Amino acid sequence: MTNTDLTPFNLAEINVADDSNAFHKLQYGALQRARALELPSFEEEVWRYTQINDLDLSKYSIGAPGGEMQARGLTADVVDAAAVLEVVNGEVVTSQINDPNVSIFTELDDENVASGVGSVMTDAVDIFAEYNHALSTSPLVIRIARNSVVEKPIVIRHATSETDFAWFPRVVVIAEENSEATILEHQVSTDVEALICPVTEITAGQSARLKYLTVQELGPRVWQLASQISDIGRDAHVAVSHVAFGGGYARARIDTRMVGSGATGDIGAVYFGRKDTTLDFRTFQKHDAPHTNSNLLFKGAVDDRSRAIYTGMIRIEPDASDVVAYQTNRNLKLSDEAWAESVPNLEIENNDVKCSHASAVGPVDADQRFYLESRGVPSEVAEALVVRGFFAEVLEDFPIPSIGIKTLERISELLSLEGVSL
């Protein structure tokens, strides 16, 4: 693919060569499919409650202008890493490997890139994933070697600082058999107009243990339309965690598929909306195999005029017996104008399962606040402490402890607790 003038974002005018290498052939096919698709409407269930109809693609240009890595936000302190990948405005600017068990492929003509991209998301989950397939300029394919333990985190930073720009981060992680690794992916931007459509594909081979943590700190005018999909193999354990703070409209569709017998998927999220942000999560826990577990816990708060949407589906296929699946979403509504919706769902085709779902949207618990106030803690501080505690419960057991602490510090700042010594 050439990065010559591709403005405006109009698929009819985009050309992708289909003859240069295997990856380009993939892109060409995806582009043909994308051209046949229409933008979604909020009338579709999976886009319900969203402002997707306000998305104007013609505002954005496509390209990979690159640039310098600027603020590293919440992950700035994570310096001791097994590998560091930094992608700025669609261009890979840093690719540094410090652990021999980690391999990273970024060249478009590399066979690992062509075979990795689309290996889990064989069919794009929506038009934005198809765009990603067609237009990604900077796919990252990460392999964790068989039987290895990668102790330090692999850090991926995606930074956006160019305005009026659309781009399509793609990360493919292949955790080979009996490997262990932790990956931290960070989406950060300055206050620019941008459309970012990331796709993350995760494969965990037999008995692999993978933690994948995503931190989203995008500016208030950014549209994020992300999808993450994981295939968890036999006796493997994948924990995906999401921290989300920003964006104008920031969506993450998270598919977790327990495909091998004995697979376990943990899906967690901590999110805090303020000002006019909309945070939108769509989760799918799919049990294809017996003896599988999945456990989802999403906790969020909405302040100011922000909105949060959670819809979740647990699907248990007929052959999946001895399954345990949980889905919990709790939202705190911190202002009158904030809004949150939570819709859990179950589809169970097998009798030998243990499933539960729970969801809640409500204000801070009055009894908890009263308890703290009765000790002499002023009302506003008491409320902030209860909110902080609501998140602390999850963040104390976070996959990367230092990120859990940083996240809690950020939440304390948002709650004006920074002057309070805790």
Partner 1 sequence: MVKLVVEGLEASVGGKQILRGINLEVSSGQVHAVMGPNGAGKSTLSNVIMGRPGYVATAGSVSIDGTDVLSLPTWERAQLGLFLAMQYPTEVPGVSIRDTLSLALTSRGISSENVVGRLLDEALAIGLNPELLDRSLNVDLSGGEKKRNETAQLAVLQPSIAILDELDSGLDIDALKACAERIEALTKNQLGVLCITHYHRLLDYLPADTVHILVDGKIVESAGPELAVELEAEGYSRFLPDKQDANDGVSVAIGGLSLLKPSLVDEDPFADPMA
Q: Footprint of partner 1 on this chain (CB under 8 A)?
A: 366-368, 370-379, 381-382, 385-386, 388-393, 396, 420-422
Cα separations in angstroms, 84 against 231, 241, 406: 24, 19, 19
Terminal-to-terminal C-alpha distance of the chain = 52
Bridge partners (DSSP) listed for residue 341: 309
Beta-carbon contacts of 287 under 8 Å, excluding residues fewer than 6 positions away, are: 258, 294, 314, 315, 316, 317, 320, 323, 325, 353
Q: State the residue for tokens 């495909």.
A: 259
422 by Cβ neighbours in 10 Å (0-12 / 13-18 / 19+) ranks as: exposed
Closest CA to 155 of 212, 95, 211, 84: 84
Task: Compute how many other C-beta atoms are within 10 angstroms of the C-beta atom of residue 59.
Answer: 16
Contact indicator for 106, 143 with CB cutoff of 8 Å = no
Kindly state the smallest distance separating residue 344's Cβ from partner 1, in Å: 21
Nearer to partner 1 (CB atom), residue 351 or residue 374: 374
Nearer to partner 1 (CB atom), residue 161 or residue 359: 359
Kindly state the smallest distance separating residue 355's Cβ from partner 1, in Å: 24
Nearer to partner 1 (CB atom), residue 45 or residue 370: 370
Nearer to partner 1 (CB atom), residue 347 or residue 371: 371
Nearer to partner 1 (CB atom), residue 251 or residue 299: 299
Nearer to partner 1 (CB atom), residue 100 or residue 378: 378
Kindly state the smallest distance separating residue 392's Cβ from partner 1, in Å: 4
Contact indicator for 225, 197 with CB cutoff of 8 Å = yes
Kindly state the smallest distance separating residue 394's Cβ from partner 1, in Å: 9
Kindly state the smallest distance separating residue 369's Cβ from partner 1, in Å: 8
Closest CA to 414 of 335, 330, 336: 335
Kindly state the smallest distance separating residue 405's Cβ from partner 1, in Å: 14
Nearer to partner 1 (CB atom), residue 141 or residue 384: 384
Cα separations in angstroms, 229 against 125, 168, 252, 284, 411: 9, 15, 10, 9, 28
Kindly state the smallest distance separating residue 389's Cβ from partner 1, in Å: 3
Nearer to partner 1 (CB atom), residue 194 or residue 387: 387
Kindly state the smallest distance separating residue 273's Cβ from partner 1, in Å: 19
For residue 281, the Cα-to-chain-centroid distance in whole angstroms is 9
44 by Cβ neighbours in 10 Å (0-12 / 13-18 / 19+) ranks as: exposed
Question: Is 292 in a helix, a strand, or coil?
Answer: coil
